[in-house]
Chain A
Amino acid sequence: GENVEQHPSTLSVQEGDSAVIKCTYSDSASNYFPWYKQELGKGPQLIIDIRSNVGEKKDQRIAVTLNKTAKHFSLHITETQPEDSAVYFCAASQAGGSYIPTFGRGTSLIVHP
């Protein structure tokens, strides 16, 4: 089955700095890679995703990159703000059908004002 490793487990940055969270996956058949943000007291919510036919995707201050050959993908947050403080999860899956996503163990991001 799929195995997803996520690093770091905690990340502390100053407001305005960039933050990078990295994930690796093991199953070359995985082709859909979502990122979720979980704020305190809430369930995870999708913030950005990427499919394996794309190398990079951006949405305002967040971007995700994918290296299929190396089987790793990363979340980049620029100009971090205190409201970016949350737990972030990466996942790997196969789009459509009956596949169950495999999650990384999560990264707690703290942005200091």
Chain B
Amino acid sequence: EADIYQTPRYLVIGTGKKITLECSQTMGHDKMYWYQQDPGMELHLIHYSYGVNSTEKGDLSSESTVSRIRTEHFPLTLESARPSHTSQYLCASSGLAGARNEQFFGPGTRLTVL
């Protein structure tokens, strides 16, 4: 079982609210990622980080922002939620060094914006 956690698991919120999705891992991994998963299954990379104080935008443009102040923590924030942000959000991590690039995924947060 991967030691990567996401909270909340489910969130229903009104338009205009600010929300933060939490992600933490206890594996000491340097790299962390946020994916948005649409109902058609496809995983869209929206943010990633190589380590503390490193954040990069992914392939899919997103209005969310991320921060990486501690190795184990990679929260995602939406300043003003909209119905178009309704989706499943998956956090993942992987080690920077080593022969493999295996990613460990959290269970996901299902966000619904009314």
Tell whether A and B belong to one assembly.
yes
Residues from chain B with Cβ under 8 Å of A100 in the complex: 33, 45, 48, 58
Give chain A interface residues in 38-54, CB to chain B under 8 Å.
38, 41-46, 49, 51
Whether A46 contacts B45 by the Cβ 8 Å rule is no
Interface residues contributed by chain A, number (CB under 8 Å): 28
Whether B107 contacts A43 by the Cβ 8 Å rule is yes
The answer to whether A106 and B43 touch (CB under 8 A), given A43-B106, A45-B2, is yes
Interface segment out of the listed A18-26, A64-72, A89-97: A89-97
Out of B31, B41, B103, name the residue touching A87 (CB < 8 Å): B41
C-alpha spacing A100/B31, complex, angstroms? 9
Whether B101 contacts A99 by the Cβ 8 Å rule is yes
Whether B107 contacts A89 by the Cβ 8 Å rule is no
* Interface residue B12 (Cβ < 8 Å from any Cβ of A): no
Whether B97 contacts A96 by the Cβ 8 Å rule is yes
Residues from chain A with Cβ under 8 Å of B103 in the complex: 34, 36, 44, 46, 101
For chain B, the bracket of interface size reads 20 to 34
* Interface residue A103 (Cβ < 8 Å from any Cβ of B): yes
Residues from chain A with Cβ under 8 Å of B33 in the complex: 100
The answer to whether A96 and B90 touch (CB under 8 A), given A42-B107, A106-B42, A108-B41, is no
Q: Which residue of A lies closest to B110 (CB)?
A: A41
* Interface residue A105 (Cβ < 8 Å from any Cβ of B): yes
The answer to whether A96 and B98 touch (CB under 8 A), given A42-B107, A43-B90, A43-B108, is yes
C-alpha spacing A38/B42, complex, angstroms? 11
* Interface residue A98 (Cβ < 8 Å from any Cβ of B): yes
Additional pairs, 14, CB under 8 Å, beyond known A45-B2, A51-B99, A89-B43: A32-B101, A42-B108, A44-B43, A44-B105, A46-B103, A46-B104, A49-B102, A95-B98, A95-B100, A97-B96, A99-B101, A105-B40, A105-B41, A106-B40
List A residues at the B interface (Cβ < 8 Å): 9, 32, 34, 36, 38, 41-46, 49, 51, 87, 89, 93-101, 103, 105-106, 108
